[in-house]
Chains A and B, each alone.
Chain A
Amino acid sequence: MSAPGTANAGLAAALRKEFDQAFAVAATTRKVQNTHLLAIRVDANPYAIQVAEIGGLQVDRVIAPLPTTIGGLLGLAGIRGELVPVYSLAVLLGYHAPLRVPRWLALCGGAHAFGLAFDDFERHLNVAGAQIATADSVNTKAQHIGAVAHTEGGSRPVISIPSIAAEIARRCTTVGVSKET
């Protein structure tokens, strides 16, 4: 009984030391050299999105369904006092529509904010630049994939949020043209 207790006490001390050192380093000397990624799952497949490309992460938000012909539009969600259209990331990536509403929501866009709903959020990844390869270099044909991150758990495609935003704009435009026609 004493061995695990001693080990946990050592771990706690190490954590405390690391936490203190983080604040002991001067802020000006700190260089941002790594890329922050969110490891997610879309239709049970591993993906990642760059933290820098999103405006926030939400969970268990109520999505009000909306009658629409736009493919992937799940409905509207109230976030920070604004109504935000929420799209299914799985549908936009070319998968079938999910049977149940995804739990996680990534807030994207600036003035025209929209939400991308996905099934599961795994963890935060702090990946060095050398570990990220561009899509062209890895020769992937998948849509809306901007790069591939190589982590300890394996390779993980990094979704390009701007490409997704363009796809949404394209779909909205197509529906608007058909209505005018």
Chain B
Amino acid sequence: MWTFGRKIAIGFALSIALLVIIGGVAYRSLSVLVDSGHTVTHSHAVIESLARVLSLMKDAETGQRGFVITGSDPYLEPHRSALESLPAELKTLRQLISDNPAQLKREGQVEEISAAKITELKRTLEIRRTEGFEASAKAIGVGEGKRSMDELRRVLDEMEHEEHELLKQRAEEAEAAAASGKWTILAGTVLCLVIAVLAGFMLTRSLTAQIGTAVGLVRSSSTELQAAANQQATSSKEQATAMNEITTTISELMATSRQIAESAKRVAQIAAQTAGSAKSGQGTVDTAQESFSAIRRQVDLIVSHMLELGKKSQQIGSVLDIVSELAEQTNILAINATIEAAGAGEAGRRFSVVAEEIRKLADRVGGSTKEIRALIDDVRGAVNTTVMTTESGSKAVDAGSKQFGDVAAALKQIAALVSTTTEAAREIELSTKQQSTAVEQVNVAIGNVAQTTKETEASSGQIMQTASQLTTLSGDLMRLVRPQAFRA
């Protein structure tokens, strides 16, 4: 959607562009015409110079004829004057045609012919002075001078003809340029007029439509604004009522907040006392845990001693095996000694008594070793039972220690939680105080809002009045933009 400024700018831009184009074309045509005027003037200057050259040559010949006929010097005056002026005139002619090589070439021929003619004139004049009229008439009669003049006229005619051709050609170019400029200006003006009319029509139409639509929207918006202002006024009244209710509720909330703050303070105090008790309990548990550790060390020592006792009992068993083996061997020896003593008859009787006693001792040692083995087995059994019992006790101590550790950890956790609870209760107390302060501020703010609501209510009336005026103004504007809509 183009804006108004853009549309107007585009219309003006098109018109200005056409004006620039037309001006450029006109300037170009005028330049061509001016150039053509200059070239025409130049061609006329060349033609005049050619005429002067021919005239000077005629004057030179006329003076020569007068002197030949009369023999009087005053008749030579045109001749002399022409010969003096001719070089300057030829120079002027050469400068004028310096841009045309063909004309320069012909000018060279003119100079040659002129020189030959002047030589011929001077020769006949000398003849007239020295030999008289007849001789000079005879020399002229040869016709050399006439041929030179004829040739000079022919070359000058060619040059003049050339200049006339150039004049004709430049005149055609000037005419064509003038016609082109004329048509361009005419057509451009017409086109510019058409574009200006079209742009004006389209701008008028577009602007009318858009402004009409906008005015319509303003009109409907002002109507809606009027309705909204009505609604706002009603809402403001309701809001004022609600604000009163909110103020009452906030007052109750403030009272509740104060009660919560007091409760939180009491909770914080109780939590602090609980934290002290938890710390005391933790100290007791730590002491008990140290006692458990000491018991554990003692139990480990007992187990170690019991295991050592078991090892010693095993060593006693090994020694007892040796003793038992020795008793058995002693018994065998005693029996063999008895046999040998019996073989020795009366002489071996005393020896048999010794052998018998040794055998008895061996028997008793064997019996005692069996009893000792039984006792050692009992001791080892008791040691094993003690070790197992002690290990069970050690495990129980471990379990108790672990449970005490758990209790200690739980107490630590309780202490930490109670500490956290204390902090939380303090934070709650602080937050509740802050909340009370905030509620008081809210109460003040609500009062301000209520005041603002009243002001809003008053403003709503003004807005309604302004919306009504805006509706009237939009109707007037619409009447200006689309009068046909109101006529219908």
Residues of A bordering B, CB below 8 Å = 15, 19, 22-23, 27, 30, 36, 38, 51-52, 54-59, 123-124
Whether the pair B357, A22 counts as a contact (CB closer than 8 A) is yes
Task: Check if B338 sits within 8 Å of A51, measured CB to CB.
Answer: yes
Tell me the B residues contacting A by CB distance below 8 Å.
328-329, 331-332, 334-336, 338-340, 342-343, 349-350, 353, 356-357, 359, 361, 363-364
The residue that B331 contacts in the complex, of A54, A55, A124, with Cβ under 8 A, is A124
**A36 to B328 alpha-carbon distance, docked (Å):** 18
- Give A149 to B339 CA distance when docked, in angstroms: 20
B339 contacts A54, C-beta separation under 8 Å: yes
Of B342, B356, B363, the residue contacting A123 (CB under 8 A) is: B363
A59: chain B residues at CB < 8 Å are 328-329, 332
Main secondary structure of the interface of B (DSSP, over half): helix
What are the residues of chain A within 8 A of B340 when measuring CB–CB?
56
Contacts of B338 in A (CB 8 A): 36, 51
Which listed residue (A27, A52, A54, A57) contacts B332, Cβ 8 A? A57
Q: How far is the CA of A30 from the CA of B346 in the complex (A)?
A: 12
* A27 contacts B342, C-beta separation under 8 Å: no
What are the residues of chain B within 8 A of A15 when measuring CB–CB?
361, 364
Cα–Cα, bound, A124→B342 (Å)? 15
Q: Which residues of A contact B353 (CB under 8 A)?
A: 22-23, 27, 30
- In the complex, the answer to whether A52 meets B350 with C-beta atoms within 8 Å is no
Inter-chain contact A38/B335, CB cutoff 8 Å: yes
> In the complex, which residues of chain A have a beta carbon less than 8 angstroms from the beta carbon of B359?
124
A27-B350, A51-B342 given; A56·B364 CB < 8 A: no
Which residue of the partner chain A has the closest CB to B334? Answer: A124
Determine the distance from Cα of A79 to Cα of B90 in the docked complex, in whole angstroms.
185
Bound: A58/B349 CA distance, A: 22
- Rounded to whole angstroms, the CA-CA distance of A55 and B341 in the bound complex is 11
B316 vs chain A, min Cβ distance (A):
16
Q: How far is the CA of A19 from the CA of B365 in the complex (A)?
A: 13
Contacting residue for A57 out of B335, B343, B357, CB 8 A = B335
- The answer to whether A30 and B349 touch (CB under 8 A), given A19-B357, A19-B361, is yes
Contacts of A58 in B (CB 8 A): 332
